[in-house]
Structure 1
Amino acid sequence: MSGLLRWADRATLAVLVLDAVLLAVLELFFLPSYLGSVQFPVTVAVAVVTNPVLVALAARFSTGGLAAAAPLVAWFATVFVLGTLGPGGDMLLPAEDWRSYLLIGGGTLPAAAMLGIVRGRRSYPG
């Protein structure tokens, strides 16, 4: 039974990493959204909410502390690679656009804070 649970936990962790990659792709594609004539990067709010949730869920299904960081690492790698080396040579994450910095900060900082929280809980049980 223990082997089955371990396999199910690994499969769940893989699904969470896949979710992080898919969310990064969608957030990049919809980053230049407008609400009327105003720039409105709603995908930053999606990243701020979903990335910490993915990290917290990954911590539940992993025994090692570093496995909890897998969704965050996958999200950041996808944003970096796809954002700078986009499809057809297009740059989806231009350096001169404030929305690029907002997406990177909004996606990584709350998730990194959540990673610290879940790793801290494992260090100090009680």
Structure 2
Amino acid sequence: MLTAPGTSSVSRWPVIVLLSVDAVLLATLELFYLPLRLDGVVLPKAGDVPLPLSALVAAVTTPLLVTTAERLVSRRLAMVPLLVWFVTLLVLGVEGPGGDSVLMVDWRALLLLAGGALPAAMALGGSLGRSAVSDTGTR
């Protein structure tokens, strides 16, 4: 379902909405699974060490959302899933369910934010850079 440059914008909106819903769901799950530890409850017991697997998931999925939005919708709207992911993470992290703060104040929160936002921002910058080069090359 690749859209051509001349395709109407009506067919683009369901795709960007679906990618935004994916970003909300991923940010929610990554935030709630951030406190995982090797304590023998969910993961095997190995010294009660924090294991932020959700930061790794964020580092893989947010650039994937951006590149998918670039490919299926447009290069200019490729930032929407990243912005939705970031806003969801901050809103749920600071004002979580019931007013609780879910985002921990330690290195794992920074790792989640950086692990999700930096690779996606690099993918977005590459996308917009290719767009700028192709625009100047056609003139």
Q: 1:124 and 1:113 mapped to 2: Cα distance?
A: 16
Q: Which amino acid aligns with 1:87?
A: P
Higher percent of residues as helix: 1
Q: 1:63 and 1:75 mapped to 2: Cα distance?
A: 18
Q: 1:63 and 1:38 mapped to 2: Cα distance?
A: 42
Q: Which amino acid aligns with 2:31?
A: L
1:99 is matched with which residue?
Answer: 108
1:1-126 aligned within 5 A: 6-35=9-38, 36=45, 37-63=48-74, 65=76, 67-95=77-105, 97-125=106-134
Instruction: Give TM-score scaled by structure 1 length.
Output: 0.89
Radius of gyration: which is bigger?
Answer: 2
Per-residue deviation at 1:7? 2.7
What number of residue pairs does the alignment pair up? 123
Q: 1:7 and 1:32 mapped to 2: Cα distance?
A: 40
Deviations 1:13-62 (A, max 9, x none): 11011100100000011000012221101000000000001001111123
Unaligned runs of 5+ in 1: none
Instruction: Give TM-score scaled by structure 2 length.
Output: 0.81
Is the 1:17–1:74 Cα contact (8 Å) retained in structure 2? yes
RMSD of aligned alpha carbons: 1.9
